[in-house]
Amino acid sequence: MFPLLSLLATLTTADALPTPKVRLTVSPGKDAVWIVDIANEGTTSTRIRADAWLLVLDVKEPTPTDPRKARFFRPKNVRFQLPSSFRNEADGSRWIELPPGGRYSEIIPLDLVCFGSKERGALVKGAKITPHLGWPAELGKKSPKREHAPFVFETGDRGLRTIDGESFELQETPEAATEVHPDDPLELTIRSRVDVQRAFEAPLTISLKNRTKNSIRARIKPEALRLYITNPNGVEHTCDLRPPNTEPLRDFYVSLRAGGASTMSALLSELCDRSVLERKGLYRVRASFDTTPWADVNEERNAFTGVIKSNNRSYIRIRVGDKSWVRPPPTLAK
């Protein structure tokens, strides 16, 4: 668990616009889940767009510990945020009235915002992170004197585009979730990250590697796979790809030499019901490889019989989705 990082932001504008005191608190937690908390510490009510999907992270790489490298070091600054399909400027359902002392909290997976290898590579121990909520000015540029929509704070027809938080230093490097099965003769790995517009475009690539010093013969076809997919709401669905009463063909068997691997690829929508992946958001996928239904034939052909679980998760970010989804309206934290 990361320590709680309290980021204080004070918003100011013209005299006609009240000056609220809003505290933006980010608390990185277990399994790469971050909590975005917005609290009104002022004496008047504040209207805020309560939407963690508007989180923006400016990341500055840490200075090398080696003095020789640090001497000529010029840190890179990068910005990470969700694609525009998540940052709906016209979504009016996320506005909430925060009374004095009121607070709003929302959980957001870090992998949803920082999805690619570039983003994940920048989030290392010692990196300096400056968070924002909304639409901040471009890196290296000042905010315009006259704010214009979309806003994250407003009163009447005027408002502010961004809530800026204090910079903080990342205390630990977020680690990817992995499982180790040292006694398994085969190692099952899923392609780690897939970023697509819609579910039918999402490919699934699985590799099966022989970890032993001897050759292993196995039935390697998608019918031997079982997928466990956790949707953006945290609900897990199981895709059992094995059709009933299927007699394995000889061509389905592959011999893997010591250290050798075989890869299977297919579209995820061909392997699972598309309703499982109908909403935009982040999906977590685990897999198992099960050849026990063909134990008799496997024995005849001296082939592997057993169940192998994947040693990693696959993260699939669907930007649009097949079905229109209205997120639950924000409510005050208790």
Note the pLDDT of residue 91: 75
Q: What 3-state class would DSSP assign to 130? A: strand
58-98 pLDDT per residue, tens: 998 887 777 777 777 778 888 999 999 898 876 778 899 99
Contact predicate 254/203, CB 8 Å: no
Note the pLDDT of residue 34: 87
257 CB-contact burial (10 Å; exposed 0-12 / middle 13-18 / buried 19+): exposed
Note the pLDDT of residue 262: 92
* CATH dotted code for 186-321: 2.60.40
Note the pLDDT of residue 7: 42
Angle at 79 between CA 152 and CA 7, to 5 degrees: 55
Give the helix/strand (H/E) hosting 69.
helix 67-71
262-298 pLDDT per residue, tens: 998 888 887 888 788 888 899 999 999 999 988 888 8
Cβ atoms < 10 Å from Cβ of 37: 18
Q: Which residues of the chain have pLDDT under 70?
A: 1-20, 90, 143-146, 155-157, 177, 241-251, 324-326
The amino acid at residue 271 is L
Domain ranges of the chain: 5-169, 186-321
